[in-house]
Every structure is written in C-alpha cells, then in structure tokens.
Amino acid sequence: MVKQTTPPKPKRRSPITRAEGEQRLISAAIQLVRERPFSEVGVRDIAAAADVNHGFVHTWFGSKNDLLIAATRQLVEQTANKVAVVAPGQQAVNPFEPDVQLAIRLAIWLNLEGANARDLLQEMPIITALTQRFIDVEGISPSIAKTAAIQVTAIGIGIVTFGPLIDIDDPAEIFALWRHSLGLLAKYPPA
C-alpha cells in the first residue's frame, strides 16, 4: 500500500514592514495599470503582484481608489523631482513621458470615479516645483509664477487628454509659444 503524502505547504515569506508593504502595493498598482485598463485591475490582482495580503490594501489605504491616489502621488512627486534638475531653456516636463501620462490619466479617472483626488491637482508637487523653477530660472514674481505653473500644467493635461483627438503628436510648438509668453510675463509683468 502506497502512503499518500500531502504536498508541503508553501514557505511563508518573512513579515514585512508597513512602509515596505505600502510601497510594494503602490509599485504593483502602477505596473498593473500600465498593462491594462484601470477598471480591470482589482485589489486582489494588486496584492498578488505585490506579494502582500489583499486585506492590507484596505487596512493601509482604505480602498483601491485610495491606493491609486497614492500611486498617482508617487508618479507626480517623481516628475516634480525631475523639474529641479532640468537645464534652463529645456522643457521642464514632457507630457508624453509614460509616467506623466499615466499620472494624468489616473488623476482624471479617479476624479470621474468620485474618488477624493482633487488635491492631486490643487497643490500637487509639480505646481510647486514649476513655480520655483519660474521664479529661479525665469525671474518671474512668485504670484505670477504660480499662475504660470498652473497654466502650463493645464496645457499639459489638455495635450495628454485631448491631443490625440485633435492630432497633436508633438507639443513642441505649443510649448514654444507658451515659453515665449512666459518670457513676456517676466519682461512685462501685469500691473
């Protein structure tokens, strides 16, 4: 008689810290939403890709949308960090860079889903970084610099969102004209 044996249980991974678990979930969420439509990415998919129990999504973030807000914030912060190191005269943010497009698409989708994503576009780090760049590099007053940062962010969001619908594949001309306007603002500030 052959003795049946049960297969060995999978080896448990060592415990992780909350910070490590949150980062794993954020990274997995970003990777999955790059690969397929946002609506097709579930909490269990993200948790499996992160090798984290799916219950921690709700414990640490509250919901899938809150996790996607954290992922969007990370993408925006990475973009904002790049702004400070771009040479003067160069485009500070390329709206066609995949991470920038993903952040914009996620922010719009989250807003349409009713998630509390408003702060992503209100005081997001990219506006702060662009404002500082316009003050330091372009010599524009702080109040005008912030308005200019909001304006160029809106232009970038518009290009990413609607550019394909109106045949904008290369925003270089649009940003060149906008940079010219920025130079005029520095030279002739509004009264």
pLDDT, one tens digit per residue, over 92-104 is: 888 888 998 899 8
Q: Which domain-ending residue is among 10, 40, 62?
A: 62
- Same domain? 25 vs 99: no
What local confidence, expressed as pLDDT, does residue 90 receive?
78
Average pLDDT over every residue of 83-91:
81
In whole angstroms, what is the distance from residue 121 CA to residue 139 CA?
Answer: 24
| Alpha helix ranges (H) inside the chain | 18-35, 43-50, 55-60, 64-83, 98-112, 118-122, 125-136, 142-162, 172-187
- In the prediction, which pLDDT does 175 show? 78
Write the pLDDT tens digit of every residue in 151-184. Answer: 888 888 888 888 878 887 777 778 778 778 877 8
Secondary structure class of 94 (helix, strand, coil): coil
Quote the distance between the C-alpha of residue 106 and its chain's center. 7
Which residues form the domain of 100?
Answer: 71-187
The CATH number linked to 55 is 1.10.10
Q: Could you report the per-residue pLDDT of 13-25, keeping only the tens digit for each? A: 557 889 999 999 9
The whole-angstrom separation of Cα 91 and Cα 70 is 26
79, 112: one domain: yes
Out of 5-9, 86-90, 154-158, the most confident range is 154-158
Examine the pLDDT at 71 and tell me if it is beyond 90.
yes
Residues 84 and 173 both lie in one domain: yes
pLDDT tens column, 117-143 = 666 655 578 888 999 998 998 888 888
What are the CA-CA distances from residue 163 to residues 130, 169, 179 (Å)? Answer: 22, 7, 19
- Asked whether residue 75 falls in the same domain as residue 163, the answer is yes
Q: What is the model's pLDDT at position 1?
A: 59
| Mean pLDDT, rounded, of the chain | 84
| For residue 30, pLDDT beyond 90 | yes
- Does residue 80 sit in the same domain as residue 58? no
On whether both 49 and 107 belong to a single domain, the answer is: no
- Distance of alpha carbon 35 from alpha carbon 157, whole angstroms: 21
**97 inside domain:** yes
- The residue among 172 and 75 whose pLDDT is bigger is 75
Q: Token pair 């990274």 is at which residue?
A: 27
* 161 and 116 share one domain: yes
Task: Say if residue 89 is in the same domain as residue 177.
Answer: yes
Per the model's pLDDT, the better-predicted residue between 120 and 36 turns out to be 36
Q: Residue 64's pLDDT band (boundaries 50, 70, 90)?
A: very high
Task: Provide the number of structural domains found in the chain.
Answer: 2
